[in-house]
Structure 1
Amino acid sequence: MARPPFPPFTEETAAQKVQAAEDAWNTRDPERVALAYTEDSVWRNRDQFITGRAEIVEFLRRKWERELDYALRKELWSFSGDRIAVRFQYECRDASGQWWRSYGNELWEFTADGLMRRREASINDFPITEADRRVFGPRAADERGGLIPVR
């Protein structure tokens, strides 16, 4: 199963890969998201280590059961060959109604057929009020490629 665009990445194709990942994650559909990764993909997500699509699906199910109204923005940071670096922010609320903004960086490595074989994510969470929210659902087409504010 191939997943274009393929490495080696250009600025344009790396940006396409980042937007495709953002779009998929905003569906909150674990099975759909997992299709972008190799069968034996290796992740480090915060302090968790995940291997393979089945574990990815289970991890994402648990994540989106806990992180309600999840909405994500990703931004291309850098790319070279078969690797892409991304920064991102997402917002969600927990079961008590507390809203959170999570800031993070990801390092991605791809196979020749465009599937991600490695993902390393460092993420920090910051409590916000509902009035402080700025990420609402999938990004509108005219907002794609825009910079994510630091704060």
Structure 2
Amino acid sequence: MSRPPLPPFDAETAALKTRLAEDAWNSQDPAKVALAYSLDSQWRNRSDFIRGRAEIVTFLTEKWAREQAYRLIKEVWAFRENRIAVRFAYEWRDETGQWFRSYGNENWEFDEAGLMSRRVASINDLMIDEQDRLFHWPLGRRPDDHPTLSDLSL
């Protein structure tokens, strides 16, 4: 199975790969998201260490049960050969209704089939008031005309 675009990446394919990842994560479908990762993909997500698609599905299922009304924006920071570095922000609320904006960076490494074999994510959460939210599209894919992280100065 291959997952285009394939490495080595250029500016256009790195941006496309990043947008495809954002779209998948905004679907909040753990099984769909997991298909972008190699069978033995290794993650560090905050302080969680995850290995393989089954653990990815479990992790994401639990994540989106906790992080309600999830909306994410990703942006390429740098790329080289089979690696892409992205920055991201996402907004969500917890079970009490408290809103958060989570900021982070991810380092991605891809195999020759374009599947992500390694993901290293560092993430910080900021409590925000509902009126301070910036991501207001309907759940799912971010509209093409919605501001990017750079447009929002995030």
TM normalised by structure 1 equals: 0.96
Q: Deviations over 1:75-103 (max 9, x none)?
A: 00000000000000000000000000000
- Which letter does structure 2 place at the counterpart of 1:31? A
Alignment match, 1:90: 90
Alignment correspondent of 2:112: 112
- The separation in 2 between residues aligned to 1:94 and 1:111, in whole angstroms, is 35
**Mapped partners of 2:133, 2:111: distance in 1:** 36
Alignment RMSD (CA, Å)? 1.3
1:16 pairs with 2:16: yes
Identical positions, percent: 59
Mapped partners of 1:122, 1:21: distance in 2: 17
CA apart distance, 1:135: 1.3
Contact (CA 8 Å) 1:88, 1:148: kept in 2 or not? no
Q: Which runs of 5 or more structure 1 residues have no equivalent in the other structure? A: none
Residues 94 and 51 (structure 1), Cα distance of their counterparts in 2 relative to 1, 3 Å cut: same
- CA contact under 8 A between 1:44 and 1:50: conserved in structure 2? yes
Q: Letter of the aligned partner of 2:14 in structure 1? A: A
CA contact (8 A) 1:68 1:95 kept: yes
Which residue pairs with 2:64 in the alignment? 64
Amino acid at match of 1:42: Q
2:145 is matched with 142
Q: Where does structure 1 differ by over 3 angstroms across 4 or more consecutive aligned residues?
A: 143-146, 148-151
- Asked if residue 3 in structure 1 is aligned to residue 37 in structure 2, the reply is no
In structure 2, what is the equivalent of residue 129 of structure 1?
A: 129
In 1, distance between residues paired with 2:3 and 2:128?
A: 36
